[in-house]
Amino acid sequence: MSRITRVEVHEFEFDGHNLARDGVAQTITFRRGSSIRLSKFAILIQTADGGRGEYVTHWVATRSTLGQMLMLCPRIVGQDARERIAIYEDLKRDIRQFDHMGHGPIDIALWDWAGKRYGASVSELLGGYRKRLPAYASTYHADRAGGLDSKEAFVEFAEHCHALGYRAFKVHGWNDGNAREEAENVLHLARHVGDRMTLMLDPACELRTFADALYVGRACDEAKYFWYEDPYRDGGTSAFAHRKLRGMIKTPLLMTEHVRGVEPKADFVIAGGTDFLRVDPEYDMGITGSLKIAHLAESLGLDCEVHASGPAHRHLMSAMRNSNYYEVALVGPDCPNALPPVYRCGYTDQLECVDADGTVGVPTGPGLGVDYDWDYIARHRTQLHVFE
Amino acid sequence: MSRITEVSIVPFTFEVRDLGLGAHAAMGVSNLQYQKGASLKVMRYAVRIRTDDGLTGEYVTHWVGTHGALGQSIMLAPHLLGRDPEQRELIYDDFKRELRAYDGMGHGPLDIALWDLVGRKYGIAVATMLGAYKAKLPTYASTHHGQDDPGGLDSPQAFGDYALACAERGFHGFKVHGWHDGDVRRESATLRAVRRAVGDRIAVMYDPGCELRTHLDALRLGHVCDEIDALWYEDPYRDSSVSLVGSKILREKLRTPLMVTEHVRGPEMKAAYAVAGACDLFHIDPEYDRGITGAMKCAHIAEGLGIDVQVHAPGPAHRACVAAIRNTHFYELALTGPGMPNLIPPVYTCGYSDQEAALGRDGTMPVPTGPGLGVSYDWEFIERHAFERKVYRA
């Protein structure tokens, strides 16, 4: 038994330059000269036998997720850190009415704990074998402020990504959801780089109606996009509507980023609502929850695309045969990926993280294989929560 | 047009007597129990929205008031500034999109406060805004979970005794929330003890709260529901009631109507359940399902599909909804138990109550009739017990 004796959650903040908020949740876009405060949090799990599991959140870091972590952390004190499945079951049941976003960081830290205990990377614990992961540049939402503010700007940035090594590129369009503007951007980009880069489109539910989703989907067909993701304001949750959309366009749909947990994802795909499954170890109840989803996709003969970037994401993908691209999210001209600068080991998900072949590596040290700068976290800390 | 100029989110705590946490320190219903003389600290939060023309809308959370929902309300609140409070559909659409990867639990309290505000603007009750026609709502007793420590609902017999007391008190139905270990024999014995105690006087329902560990255990308890003629069988097992396929397979083998979707957020995903034949009734909740705006969409989908809904949990917004929905049965007084108070914040200065003592002799609860939600809140109490204040101003 490795009893969990202490859990710490550190909230901390840092600045992101040339960025501005558009909306209230995670929607961030380019604005030159603007700077925003970004909040992330770190979790540290300690066991009576001296073990340590660590994780610093990437895109899942929101007030909502933090709130759920404060609800869940007291629940794991006293539990055996080795029994991730028992913990998964209890946490899942405890906040069954909720979206489970606070569960992922806890589970990932437990995998880090296990890897450190056994002297193996998480990838090795998973039986991983893929050493290099083909990556795509996943853009910030389009803006009207000098970043990705026109179809020409998208071409220019795609060319830049191509020069860095990227062979795949995903557009997040304008938050206005103007179907004509989106379709024009889709076609224009394909005309300029479509012969050299695999292209994807993610309106992130900004198109307002089904008809707009169909219109832009037809542009994706014409421009031979690799996938079309979460098109419109159903919020990416209507299997019925997307089965209908799939029957009307050729481009494969990538849905289920907003559908939490293995069971609802199974239901969505069985109802004919998607071509690919989406998984994120931060969003989908950790690496434990994500593996279930990857295997669900495998059992149905489908591919499963890992959402967003981070060390846990890389370890997970290294053990998935049925996954195409690693998402370097989010990137744009002259602005950083809004991820915490806490890696002392050189780990990075910034735009330049790919090699000349457009791939990223998988960390090799014990656990997540990254070395967090706890001094930086302490210096930038705004609040510490301790559960014993 | 009114314009929103200020939004306050105020989390606060209060003490509830004779309840404690059993197995672990995490605050949830999975460990609440009767504990004589104990005092339990409970957190909820209040929402207040103000406009440039002097209007105010308020809501104090009931069961949704957790840190998770609070975090979302704080994410969304600044986004209300400058908006017209009457455009609830646009706000619904934008907030749904903003929190598209999340459950939207923090949206409900804001939406409900907007309904309150608009009701006050025109001097009519939210129930009236919805076209409601019921003044009194037949109510069922929804129990606390079974417990192993002595007291409260600590045995099948204790459930039976309490069910009889509830039938005599006038309740129209009695819903068992069983034990957390999901033991098939004890759960079965409890259902049989309850039916024996009440005979055919009132409806009996069963909600294991997803504590049965396997699909087959869910099937076995489903057969007991058939045997005791339960009115519905709710959220049985550890798929946490989010597996449509699992529910469908289960439902095909049972006579008792299956009520799921309390844990399935949003009208689109609830619709998928019914269309696939995976449930008989929807569970909807104005706090959980993106407000009165979202809950009424769910009620209307059910109506369109010819099925019934049940509104989950009690509260003034819940009463307004039940009063306006034809295809529903009871108001849920959750949670009740012998000598066990409900965890409702003591913030009503108008006499409004969701404690057992408030039940009329005919087993109904009244629908508030004043403007907006028709309740008045004790802001002095809220402010005195607040541990944080988030105020956003335009």
Using a CB-CB cut-off of 8 Å, the residues of chain A touching B392 are none
> Residue B10: is its pLDDT beyond 70?
yes
Give the mean model confidence (pLDDT) for residues A232-242: 97
Note the pLDDT of residue B26: 79
Point out the residue among B67, B79, B269 whose CB comes nearest to the CB of A68.
B67
Q: With an 8 Å Cβ cutoff, are B240 and A271 in contact?
A: no
Note the pLDDT of residue A29: 85
Q: With an 8 Å Cβ cutoff, are B268 and A240 in contact?
A: yes
Note the pLDDT of residue A298: 96
Q: Search chain A and give the residue with CA nearest B288.
A: A97
Note the pLDDT of residue B206: 98
Is the pLDDT higher at B210 or at A30? B210
Give the mean model confidence (pLDDT) for residues A308-333: 97
* Numbers of helices and strands, H then E, in chain B: 12, 13
**Using CA atoms, how far apart are residues A191 and A121, in angstroms rounded to an integer?**
42
Q: With an 8 Å Cβ cutoff, are B105 and A96 in contact?
A: no
User: Cα–Cα–Cα angle for A347, A352, A354, nearest 5°?
Assistant: 75
Using a CB-CB cut-off of 8 Å, the residues of chain B touching A230 are 100
Q: Which residues pair with B140 in a beta bridge?
A: B173, B332
Q: B8: buried, middle or exposed (CB in 10 Å: 19+, 13-18, 0-12)?
A: buried
Note the pLDDT of residue B25: 75
Any idea which architecture A125-361 has in CATH? Alpha-Beta Barrel (3.20)
pLDDT tens-place string over residues B234-285: 999 999 999 999 999 999 999 999 999 999 999 999 999 999 999 999 999 9
Are the C-beta atoms of residues B282 and B307 closer than 8 Å to each other? Answer: yes
**Where in chain A do CATH 3.30.390.10 domains reside?**
4-123+367-387
Q: With an 8 Å Cβ cutoff, are B25 and A96 in contact?
A: no
Q: Search chain B and give the residue with CA nearest A206.
A: B97
Q: With an 8 Å Cβ cutoff, are B271 and A260 in contact?
A: no
In the predicted model, what is the mean pLDDT of chain B? 96
Point out the residue among A63, A93, A241 whose CB comes nearest to the CB of B74.
A63
User: Cα–Cα–Cα angle for B42, B47, B49, nearest 5°?
Assistant: 170
pLDDT tens-place string over residues B68-91: 999 999 999 999 999 999 999 999
Q: A299: buried, middle or exposed (CB in 10 Å: 19+, 13-18, 0-12)?
A: exposed
The residue whose two tokens read 């202490």 is A6
Substitution target in A7, A21, A24, A209 with the highest count of B β-carbons within 10 Å is A24
Q: With an 8 Å Cβ cutoff, are A263 and B105 in contact?
A: no
Point out the residue among A62, A283, A387 whose CB comes nearest to the CB of B75.
A62
Q: Is A235 left (phi over 0), alpha (psi -120 to 50) or beta?
A: left
Note the pLDDT of residue B29: 59
Substitution target in B103, B241, B247 with the highest count of A β-carbons within 10 Å is B103
Point out the residue among A24, A98, A271 whose CB comes nearest to the CB of B68.
A98
What are the two backbone dihedrals, phi and then psi, of residue B364, each rounded to the nearest 5 degrees?
A: -120, 165
Are the C-beta atoms of residues B270 and B295 closer than 8 Å to each other? Answer: no
Residue B266 gets which letter from DSSP?
S
> Residue B373: is its pLDDT beyond 90?
yes
> Residue A23: is its pLDDT beyond 70?
no
- Amino acid in the structure at residue B134: K
Q: With an 8 Å Cβ cutoff, are A264 and B105 in contact?
A: no
Burial B68-90 (b: 16+ CB within 10 A, else e): bbbbbbbbbbbbbeebebbebee
- The pTM of the full predicted model, rounded to 2 decimals, is 0.94
- The total number of residues written for chain A in this structure: 388
> Residue A24: is its pLDDT beyond 60?
no
DSSP-based three-state secondary structure for A11: strand
Q: B304: buried, middle or exposed (CB in 10 Å: 19+, 13-18, 0-12)?
A: exposed
Q: What is the CATH number of domain A4-123+367-387?
A: 3.30.390.10
The residue whose two tokens read 């009701």 is B119
Note the pLDDT of residue A25: 53
pLDDT tens-place string over residues B146-201: 999 999 999 999 999 999 999 999 999 999 999 999 999 999 999 999 999 999 99
Note the pLDDT of residue A21: 81
> Residue A65: is its pLDDT beyond 60?
yes
Using a CB-CB cut-off of 8 Å, the residues of chain A touching B264 are 264
pLDDT tens-place string over residues B19-55: 998 877 777 656 889 999 999 999 999 999 999 999 9
pLDDT tens-place string over residues A273-310: 999 999 999 999 999 999 999 999 999 999 999 999 99
Note the pLDDT of residue A80: 98
Give the mean model confidence (pLDDT) for residues B126-153: 96
- The total number of residues written for chain B in this structure: 394
Q: With an 8 Å Cβ cutoff, are A259 and B269 in contact?
A: yes
CB atoms within 10 A of CB B148: 12
Domains and their CATH numbers in chain B: 4-123+372-393 (3.30.390.10), 129-366 (3.20.20.120)
**Where in chain A do CATH 3.20.20.120 domains reside?**
125-361
| R_g of chain B computed on alpha carbons | 20
Using a CB-CB cut-off of 8 Å, the residues of chain B touching A92 are 238, 240
